[in-house]
Amino acid sequence: MRIIGIIAATLTTIAFFPQVIQVIKSKDTKSISLTMYILFVTGVLLWVLYGFYLNDLPIIIANSIVAVASTIILCYKIREIRSNLKKS
Amino acid sequence: MRIIGIIAATLTTIAFFPQVIQVIKSKDTKSISLTMYILFVTGVLLWVLYGFYLNDLPIIIANSIVAVASTIILCYKIREIRSNLKKS
């Protein structure tokens, strides 16, 4: 049954890759929620911190990967908002 | 330090709510990755299963909430793809 946990963690970690690729390629983040990614990046960074506290390498590694991916998405979102502000 | 874990889990769980609200209101999912949500929903459902195996209520509850939220987003994404297929 431990394999279920490993597959679950792998899927929820790599899930953000296709979103990162799509955002980088299209530079379109219109339907992506800014609030979601602010909350999510903050939460995932706290998970990394908690992982260090627990000294749990899987928590540290998985959340660090997700932190990088979701931060990239957040940056593209902020960039789009800024560029829209300049236009208007 | 346990509070850090609780805040982390709360943030990564509620993060999906603003995205669900935005998708329902706008019905726009263009910049949301289909692959991300297929992988993510599958992963989160496996997390729920793993939570039952561990008999860990926080894992079950947090992931069930995220599962519902991300499934709603996935459904709207699939609906948009279908409606675009009909148009073309």
- pLDDT tens across A37-71, in order? 999 999 999 999 999 999 999 999 999 999 999 99
Tell me the whole-structure pTM to 2 decimals: 0.94
Structurally, chain A folds into a number of domains equal to 1
Q: Is the pLDDT of residue A16 over 90?
A: yes
- Lowest mean per-residue pLDDT among A12-21, A23-32, A79-88: A79-88
**CATH number where A43 lies:** 1.20.1280.290
**What part of A 2-21 touches B (C-beta under 8 Å)?**
4-5, 7-19, 21
Cβ–Cβ of B31/A36 closer than 8 Å?
A: no
Q: Which of B21, B34, B39 to mutate to test the interface with A (most CBs of A within 10 A)?
A: B39
Residue B24 sits at the chain A interface (C-beta within 8 Å)? no
Radius of gyration of chain A (CA): 15
Q: Is the pLDDT of residue A87 over 90?
A: no
Those residues whose C-beta lies under 8 Å from the C-beta of residue A15, and which sit 6 or more positions away, are B35, B36, B37, B39, B40, B43
For residue B51, the model assigns a pLDDT of 94
Tens digit of pLDDT for each residue in B9-36? 999 999 999 999 999 999 999 999 999 9
Q: Which residue of A has its CA nearest to B51?
A: A5
Those residues whose C-beta lies under 8 Å from the C-beta of residue A52, and which sit 6 or more positions away, are A60
> B10 to chain A, minimum CA–CA distance in Å?
8
For residue B37, the model assigns a pLDDT of 98
> B83 to chain A, minimum CA–CA distance in Å?
17
Q: Is the pLDDT of residue A1 over 90?
A: no
Q: What's the domain range around B78?
A: 2-87
Those residues whose C-beta lies under 8 Å from the C-beta of residue A57, and which sit 6 or more positions away, are A51
**Position B88 confidence tier, pLDDT thresholds 50, 70, 90:** confident
Tens digit of pLDDT for each residue in B38-49? 999 999 999 999
Cβ–Cβ of B50/A16 closer than 8 Å?
A: no
Mean pLDDT for A21-31 is 97
Whether the CB-CB separation of A52 and A60 falls below 8 Å is answered with yes
For residue B1, the model assigns a pLDDT of 80
For residue B87, the model assigns a pLDDT of 86
* Closest C-alpha among A50, A59, A76 to residue A13: A59
Residue B26 sits at the chain A interface (C-beta within 8 Å)? yes
